[in-house]
Amino acid sequence: MPVSIKRIYESPVAQDGYRILIDRLWPRGIKKESAAIDLWLKEVAPSPELRTWFNHDPEKWTTFQKKYKLELKNNPAWRALRQLAGQHKALTLLFAAKDEKHNHAVLLARLLNK
pLDDT digits (tens, 9 = 90+) for 6-42: 999 999 999 999 999 999 999 999 998 889 999 999 9
Residue partners of 93: CB distance under 8 A and separation at least 6: 3, 4, 5, 6, 20, 22, 105, 108, 109
Q: What is the pTM of this model?
A: 0.94
Given this model, what pLDDT does residue 104 score? 97
Instruction: Report the number of secondary-structure helices (H) and strands (E) in the chain.
Output: 4, 4
Which residues are 88's β-sheet partners?
none
Asked whether 76 and 44 are in contact (CB, 8 A), the reply is no
